Structure 1
Amino acid sequence: MRMNIAVREAPPAIWRLLKVYTQLLLIAFALVPACLIAYLYFAQDPTLKFENHAFHEIAIAAATLEGFFVTYVTWTCYRSSGEPLLRWLTLGFLGFVLIYALHGAFTGLAHHNMWLFLLYGPASRLVMSILLFVGLLSYHRPPERVEKRSNARDWTMWLGFFVLVDIAVAYVANSAIAGSLMVRLSMEGGALVFSILNVMTLMLRRIRSPLMVIYGISITWFALSSLAFILGRPWNHMWWLAHAIFAAGFFLLSYGVVAAFRTTRSFSTIYSQEELTARLAEAMARTESALQELQHTNQKLERLAATDPLTGAANRRQFIESVEAEITRAKRGGAPFSLLALDLDNFKAINDSYGHQIGDEVLRRFVQTCLEAIRPYDGFARVGGEEFMVLLPQSLLEAARTIGERVRVAIARSAFEAGIGRLVEVTVSIGVSQFGHDGDTIDTLLRVADERLYRAKHQGRNCVVAA
């Protein structure tokens, strides 16, 4: 028993509602860290601390290794696509890792030089947020040149810049202004401001591809982590929550990078299932068109390989294949067939008197006249300069001689134009052979037809010899 289930399209209002619902879900997901921040800020004692240097060092080391890996993947995507956004993403990841690693390395100095330990965190986030913002401004710009992607000098200069930042942070941490709360707040506040600018730019430009949605949520979490760092104090729960929020944003952004690497290696090219399906359909359509064009070209080549280019008649190879097929059918019990061997009389004299151009025109006209004189299903081929063959299926010797005579008369009565009002007299000599009567192999049939053609030549030309 078969059941037919009618599937109705949802009303437009439902589609609009689903769209709004999806957007609200994304916004809620992006703001989840804000709820956690509010909970700790209003419901937890800020003086509670969890100071564990070993845990902090292990966490920073793992983040550093993961950061280097994501930097490499992003750089590989940039090398492949040349997308400017990926270049700045690579620099953002690299700058963050090279500066943030010292935040973990100096954990043991937290009680001796708090600022040397503490300032590398906000500095790394500030540098990363600035570079990501610059990258967003370059979104959808044309791919960069190949030589620019591999320019070692540019990358070395950026490495040098990040090292200078490390040195500058160390200098500030050991200076008199290090104890000022404004130093840390200005760095963290700068990271917060640039992250907010990133999100606002993303919204104003209405960039909503799946990869950029991931990018936007990640930047939102970076902004909220900076807010949590501003509200928190070293080692208290808000401070650890800030680390967790930033790590979650970093992991999410790295997921987007890996998704790009596994698909288009570009953030501008959407990797959603719908667009991949559409692009696949376009690629399949182009492939189908190319296959059709290739098939058409192959058919054209096959015709050229089987056709005489001057007259359009079949060539010798094609004719031999047709005769061999006819022999196979005849040996299975089919009716015998016959061959005609044709040769234009005194064709060399035509070429010598009127030129090869007139000779070529005579050949073309000769072929057309022969095709009109033989039956539609008979095979006609040019096998030499002025030599032609005709395959006559289901024709005995006498019937073949009659057809040959009809061809001879048609040629003799035709007017072959030689230019400037002059006519060329053209005649043809014909030899006939029959399968079974004169032999049962292709070589024998061709030899007999040629022998009778030569006899026609010796008998004065312009005649048909069948015995």
Structure 2
Amino acid sequence: MDMSVTIGERPESIRRATKIYAAFLIAGFALSPVALIAYLYFFQDPALKFENHLFHEIAIAGATIEGLFVAYVSWRCYLSSGEPLLRWLTLGFLGFTLIYAPHGAFTGMAHHNIWLFLLYGPASRLAMSILLLIGLLSFNQEPDTPEQRVNPRPWLAWIAVFLVVDVAVAILAYSPIASSPAVRLAMEGGALLFSAVDLSLMLIGRIRSPLMTVFGISIALFGLSSLAFILGKPWNHMWWLAHAIFAGGFFILSYGIIKAFHTTRSFANIYNQEEMVNRLAMAMVRTESALQELQRSNQMLEHLASTDPLTGASNRRHFIERVDAEIARAKRDDLSFAMLALDLDNFKAINDRYGHQVGDQVLQGFVQKCSEEIRPYDSVARMGGEEFMVLLPQATMELAVTIGERIRQATENAVFESILVPKLILTVSIGVSQFGQDGTTIDTIFRAADERLYRAKDQGRNCVITV
């Protein structure tokens, strides 16, 4: 029985078991404060308190600075992605910070008006839980438009709402009903209820992504902190534990915002490892395809830049580059090469009699005949009009004359057919030059080939001249 396991194999049973185990780990971490809450609730000494106003003020100041910073980072992510969830996360952090700050500022009022000191905490947590619930309900909605993202009016309106809440809490703290336990319990209970609704919606909707998992853990900690605040009393250990639990949720959610900022600027579409690998593979395929397309485009552009568009032969610029390279190679390796200068005889009369369309077909047919008679590594170029040149690497004068004669005979014997002209006979005059014998620069060997081409014209055309 083969007990070997292929490397990289993931049996379905193991995959399912590990996913369940991971889910239990996440749930266990999110609900771990329950043990601490239960321990203090059953074993806490009611007489033990830690009342330190300076420590409390420093802690709240730190939380305020952090809240403003994370709200700003969340806002930057929102500007980039336009994700509605990030808009509500930004408002959640900002609203909590602006409403929670007086909780620290009024620490010294704890002995004068305990409710002015206490009510800002539950009010801030209630506001944040409501905004986070709205954000969750907007999960995966269409992004806001760029105009909506930069419009300052909604943000200013929300800041005004938060400041109004601060004033309303102050008025409530000085009202007769502030001393009723129902007031604080209603706000903390409301925060707990909204947190529970958040978690329920996430579980029902099976919303799963790395950062949404962070979101869910934070919501669980926020809800448990509200439970601890309900069970605790000012300055006792349960009260401080509630602060610590909420701070933990705040830190974790802040971490999610920072991760979003450094990756996709999106809170809903951050990648898990498997998705990141898949997207990276897709991006690599797209990049490779784009590079291949770019290479094809460059090759096409290079071909267009070096080719005569009518005949498909090399153009003058590319031919001169080839000759320069051949001269360098000939000097380096002590080799020789030859060139042919060709001019179609009486071509102007063909254009005048039959028209340029027939003339173009003749030029194309002539280049085809040249290509059939030269060697594979030779090249033919159109220098202008009916003038052509052929480069013959490592060719002697004798070989060049032989190739020139082949071209001349093929041209003379060819029948150039067209729609307008059933039969048309064409001849070509050719001048030959050789590197070394006629010079060692491009000007000298070009001039020698041209002079012999003109002699071929003077001697009656349809011939190959070497001197």
Q: TM-score band (shorter)?
A: over 0.9
**Correspondence for 1:311:** 311
Cα distance change on mapping 1:353 and 1:167 into 2, 3 Å: same
For 2:120 and 2:6, how far apart are their aligned partners in 1?
Answer: 63
Moved more, 212-221 or 52-61: 52-61
Cα deviation, residue 43, structure 1 = 1.1
Moved more, 52-61 or 62-71: 52-61
Cα deviation, residue 69, structure 1 = 0.9
Write the letter of the residue equivalent to 2:147: E
Write the letter of the residue equivalent to 1:345: D
For 1:169 and 1:250, how far apart are their aligned partners in 2?
Answer: 23
Contact kept? 1:88, 1:135, Cα under 8 Å: yes
Cα distance change on mapping 1:85 and 1:429 into 2, 3 Å: same
Moved more, 456-465 or 276-285: 276-285
**Correspondence for 1:268:** 268
Contact kept? 1:46, 1:238, Cα under 8 Å: no
**Correspondence for 1:141:** 141
**Correspondence for 1:255:** 255
Moved more, 160-169 or 13-22: 13-22
**Correspondence for 1:432:** 432
Provide the secondary structure at the position in 2 that maps to 1:227: helix
Write the letter of the residue equivalent to 2:290: A
**Correspondence for 1:120:** 120
What is the 5 A alignment of 1:385-464? 385-464=385-464
For 2:418 and 2:279, how far apart are their aligned partners in 1?
Answer: 60
Cα deviation, residue 26, structure 1 = 0.9
Cα deviation, residue 23, structure 1 = 1.1
**Correspondence for 1:84:** 84
**Correspondence for 2:28:** 28
Contact kept? 1:214, 1:252, Cα under 8 Å: yes
**Correspondence for 1:224:** 224
Contact kept? 1:46, 1:232, Cα under 8 Å: no
Cα distance change on mapping 1:320 and 1:170 into 2, 3 Å: same
Cα deviation, residue 222, structure 1 = 0.5
**Correspondence for 2:183:** 183
Cα deviation, residue 274, structure 1 = 3.6
Write the letter of the residue equivalent to 2:182: M
Provide the secondary structure at the position in 1 that maps to 2:111: coil
Residue 68 (structure 1) aligned with residue 74 (structure 2) = no
**Runs of 4+ displaced beyond 6 Å:** none
Q: Deviations over 1:133-183 (max 9, x none)?
A: 000011111211111111111101001111111111112111121111111
Contact kept? 1:354, 1:418, Cα under 8 Å: no
For 1:452 and 1:413, how far apart are their aligned partners in 2?
Answer: 23
**Correspondence for 2:215:** 215
Cα deviation, residue 10, structure 1 = 5.3
Write the letter of the residue equivalent to 2:408: R
Cα deviation, residue 419, structure 1 = 2.9
How many residue pairs get matched?
Answer: 463
Write the letter of the residue equivalent to 1:372: E
Cα deviation, residue 104, structure 1 = 1.1
Cα distance change on mapping 1:10 and 1:306 into 2, 3 Å: closer
Q: Deviations over 1:329-353 (max 9, x none)?
A: 4334555332111001121222222
Write the letter of the residue equivalent to 1:419: I
- 5+ residue gaps, structure 2: none
- 5+ residue gaps, structure 1: none
Write the letter of the residue equivalent to 1:350: I
Cα distance change on mapping 1:434 and 1:252 into 2, 3 Å: same
**Correspondence for 1:234:** 234
Cα distance change on mapping 1:135 and 1:8 into 2, 3 Å: closer
Contact kept? 1:71, 1:93, Cα under 8 Å: yes
Moved more, 412-421 or 96-105: 412-421
Cα distance change on mapping 1:243 and 1:405 into 2, 3 Å: same
Contact kept? 1:260, 1:271, Cα under 8 Å: no
**Correspondence for 2:362:** 362
Q: Deviations over 1:43-82 (max 9, x none)?
A: 1133432222222111111111111111111111111111
Moved more, 297-306 or 223-232: 297-306
For 1:388 and 1:133, how far apart are their aligned partners in 2?
Answer: 79
Q: TM-score, normalised by structure 2?
A: 0.95
Cα deviation, residue 390, structure 1 = 1.2
Cα deviation, residue 100, structure 1 = 0.6
Cα deviation, residue 393, structure 1 = 3.0
Q: Deviations over 1:223-281 (max 9, x none)?
A: 00111111111122111111111111111111111111111111112243443333333
What is the 5 A alignment of 1:149-228? 149-228=149-228
For 2:187 and 2:462, how far apart are their aligned partners in 1?
Answer: 107
Cα distance change on mapping 1:98 and 1:394 into 2, 3 Å: closer
Write the letter of the residue equivalent to 1:75: W
**Correspondence for 1:283:** 283
For 2:330 and 2:157, how far apart are their aligned partners in 1?
Answer: 85
For 2:11 and 2:316, how far apart are their aligned partners in 1?
Answer: 69
Write the letter of the residue equivalent to 1:448: A
For 2:25 and 2:399, how far apart are their aligned partners in 1?
Answer: 88
Cα distance change on mapping 1:70 and 1:395 into 2, 3 Å: closer
For 1:206 and 1:298, how far apart are their aligned partners in 2?
Answer: 49
Contact kept? 2:397, 2:434, Cα under 8 Å: yes
For 1:324 and 1:233, how far apart are their aligned partners in 2?
Answer: 94
Cα deviation, residue 327, structure 1 = 2.9
Cα deviation, residue 321, structure 1 = 2.6
Cα deviation, residue 125, structure 1 = 0.5
Moved more, 211-220 or 320-329: 320-329
Provide the secondary structure at the position in 1 that maps to 2:433: strand
Contact kept? 1:48, 1:237, Cα under 8 Å: yes
For 2:221 and 2:169, how far apart are their aligned partners in 1?
Answer: 24
Cα distance change on mapping 1:333 and 1:120 into 2, 3 Å: closer
For 2:10 and 2:300, how far apart are their aligned partners in 1?
Answer: 51
Provide the secondary structure at the position in 1 that maps to 2:268: coil
Cα deviation, residue 416, structure 1 = 2.0
Write the letter of the residue equivalent to 1:233: K
Provide the secondary structure at the position in 1 that maps to 2:384: coil
Contact kept? 1:341, 1:453, Cα under 8 Å: yes
**Correspondence for 1:53:** 53
Aligned-CA RMSD value? 1.8
**Correspondence for 2:376:** 376
